[in-house]
Each structure stands twice: as C-alpha cells, then as structure tokens.
Structure 1
Amino acid sequence: MVVLFESPAGPSEQEEGETFRPRFDASGLVTAVVTDHATGGPLMVAHMNAEALDRTLETGIAHYWSRSRQSLWKKGETSGALQSVRAIHVDCDQDAVWLSVTCAKPDDTCHTGRTTCFYRKLDLQNRKLIPSIS
C-alpha cells in the first residue's frame, strides 16, 4: 500500500495554509497526543507513520506505529479498547497531531490497566514520581 501525503511546504504554507502536510521526522514518524473527547484529559502519547495516519483517517479508529515492535498497531485490537477518533488537530508546523477520542473501554486505555498512561506526576521539589490517578 502506497500512502501519500502532500510534502511539507515553506513556513507560510505549512503554518498558515489549509493543506494537511504532515511533517514526518527522520524515522518517518509524527508524535500523536491522545486525549479523551469528553473530558479533554490526557490518555497517551504515541507515534504515527504515514500508513498509521492514513488508516486512522480511513477507518476513524486510531492506528499507531509501535517503535518497539516496528509494526503498525491498531489501538485496542486485542484488548477491545478501540479508540474512535472524534477530532484531529495539527500543531503549527504539522509535526505533531492531537487526537480527541472516545474509548470503547475507557477504564483500559493504558497497558497497565489504567484509564490513562499519565497516572503519575513528578513532585517538583523532591524529583520523585507520585501517583496522580489510580
């Protein structure tokens, strides 16, 4: 499958234009920030290659690129915690996307069984991780 997106353009077109021109990094990836559509709360951060982004746009279900497995990953395919994409935003220079999603199993977003991958916060004074969400 050949996946094509428009090539990045000059700063004016890239930052102000209406054409979706994802700017993939040297590894062929863009960062994907994922939040809960209802609450706006953070769920996870992942990466997408052109195929993952294309499949997400085609199906409405979030697909990512697993850097550790070096393979396409349909979020929730085995766990049932599919992410239905409600909106996609792109940052100013189009090298990151923000997916607003609803989860088929909202209590199972993280592989640890939590509602979010961001279940700890950094105690800035002591520089220790402490629970923020169970």
Structure 2
Amino acid sequence: MQASPVSSRRSTPGSRHIEATSKEGATTVAFDFGRLQVRDRAVYLFGTPGQERFEFVREILARGMDGAIIVVDATRGVDAMTRHLYDRLKELEVPLAFMANKCDCPGAAPGAISRDLPGETVYPISARNGENVYAALDAFVATLVAR
C-alpha cells in the first residue's frame, strides 16, 4: 500500500477537511453536519465521503432517514460508487434526489446524469457559488413533505 499526501484545511470556522491525493487527483475526506429550516421544517443534513470505506457510516445514517441526496460531479458523471449508493438506497426504499454539482465548470453535463438515472430527479447546482443549491433542497423537501 502506498501512502498518499494528505493536507488539512478549514473551509468554515470549526470545520476541517482532509484532502488526500490519489492518481485521480485530490479528494476531500470529511464528515459534515448541518441543520437548517426548509418549508418550516428542521432539516438535518449529514454529509459523508463517497469512498467505499465509509459504507458503514452510510448504513448507520440510513436507519430512519427521511430522504437522501447524492451529489454527483457533473463533469465526471455517474460512476460505479454512485450507482452502488443509488442501488442500496433504492433497496432501502429511501426517497432520493441527485444534485449535479459543478454545473458552472466547463464540460459539465447534468443531462448525461439524468439519462444515466432515468426517472430520478436531478438538480443542476454549483456548490462553489451556491447556484440553485437552496432551490434544489427546497424542491426535494417539498416532495418529502407531500408523502
């Protein structure tokens, strides 16, 4: 096993992100938690890394969750891990939404994500500049409230 360079940075006060470098480039390895009000409801967001080694955390969080959002890099599309997460959450009958991130980047193809996940809701967003993030979250919460 080869060691990877790792760096630590803070994105917001009190948060720390670890970046590990692999042959695919830098990837952020971080758990995150947030609470906000959407449609007069308290929404608790748990962010987990997409790497396979964190599957046990996602299994714990899946117990009792009202819905799940899978963030997909719109410049890379649906990969094997995204497909695995999708299949597992469908098996657990968890309501899903997809956020196609990096739609502000050259080469972004949110339509390709929609084609790869027929019948699923895909919201184009940019986490970098916040474009459509709250609107997408609001729309997804509306589908959960309607259930």
**TM-score normalised by length of structure 2:** 0.27
The higher-RCO structure (CA 8 Å, 6+ apart) is 1
- Give the structure with the higher percent helix: 2
- Give the structure with the higher percent strand: 1
**TM-score normalised by length of structure 1:** 0.28
